[in-house]
Amino acid sequence: MSEDLKKGLEGVLVAESSLSVIDGDAGKLVYRGYTIEDLAIGASYEEVLYLLWYGHLPNASELEEFESEMASEREVDDDVIATVRAMAESDENPMAALRTAVSMLSAYDPASEDADPTDEEVNLATGRRITAKIPTLVAAFTRIRDGEDPVEPREDLGHAANFLYMLNGEEPDDVAADVFDQALVLHADHGLNASTFSAMVTASTLSDLHSSVTSAIGTLKGPLHGGANQDVMEMLKEVDDAERDPLEWVKNALDGGRRVSGFGHRVYDVKDPRAKILGERSKELGEAAGSVKWYEMSTTIEEYMQEEKGLAPNVDFYSASTYYQMGIPIDIFTPIFAMSRVGGWVAHVVEYIEDNRLIRPRARYTGPNPEETEFVPLEER
């Protein structure tokens, strides 16, 4: 590979953005000037959405109006739920089901097909509806697959609490709602990651927002982007089921050529700041449940990987045990990622098309040239 070819666009600048910045050397993540630590502790997911979409944190009245608008958009058309039911009963992959359902939402969206795709107000309203409905789709799919009826969304609960209510059929306690809300905040945006860039490529053609989000979900479905936390939890369960010391297990796994999920990141050279926050929440959930085995198992593996391999954990490493201790099925972890990251997808699309240019990179041709080939008619081949 030649030196000027950047496989995977690594390190290539393709846009300017005021939304988020990552300092991989220092382990910092910032949304519009605010550190992820401050936002995770002091702001709700709805506040972070407002920040990403409108450029500033809302005051009390702005937040109340925004929360009310979001809550009023949670219901999903019966035809879409019927399709979700058919996919759940046929054991469709959860991310494939979400991709299909979000695409189908466009048929029932009040935005006109003739709407200007660069109209910021229309796009933000559409983005709000998509973001409000994705939790309803994910919860409905999960319950139907488990042989239960979907639970209707409530408008008196926050975004995070309402999802847990729709998923489990009972209102979550304050701790669970707070932890899940914090997880959504931590996953809301992360620069030009693969799914965000996919959404921007689609939007740059002046396609509609539903198409952009559908593209992003399809990209997030790939295990190199969105599936690591599922892999982490399956690994932790394997260690637990084997009733082996986690240190011994990880040594044997590495000696056997296995990859330990949840470590390393394309951007961070140190511990992912989101992993630090979720690690503490995983511990708190374990203490509340009377067992911190998942947290202790995770920290043992983390310490070994850092000391022996020089690899630091990413956000997936601790989001896995956090979600699992909240009773969330392992294969729903990635759809939850989409539930949060849709906020960033919408923000980046809206920002990019303010000064849109079709994203159309080039490839270096390495095939034969015309001097080396001779066209042979079909009857002579």
The catalytic residues are 265, 316
- Mapped onto helix, strand or coil, the DSSP state of residue 225 is coil
Collect all residues with Cβ–Cβ distance below 8 Å to 195 and sequence separation of at least 6.
Answer: 216, 217, 219, 220, 225, 226, 341, 345
The DSSP code sequence of 104-168 is: HHGGG-SS-TTS-TT-HHHHHHHHHHHHHHHHHHHHHHHHHHTT-------SSS-HHHHHHHHHH
Collect all residues with Cβ–Cβ distance below 8 Å to 95 and sequence separation of at least 6.
Answer: 217, 220, 221, 226, 334, 335, 338
Cα-atom radius of gyration of the chain, to the nearest Å? 22
CA separation, residue 67 to residues 77, 280, 327 (Å): 21, 28, 26
Distance CA 130, CA 210 (A): 8
Torsion of CA 191, 196, 201, 206, to 10 degrees: -110
Distance CA 263, CA 311 (A): 6
What's 256's DSSP letter?
A: T
Tell the burial category of 57 from Cβ atoms under 10 Å away from its Cβ (0-12, 13-18, 19+): middle
Collect all residues with Cβ–Cβ distance below 8 Å to 178 and sequence separation of at least 6.
Answer: 160
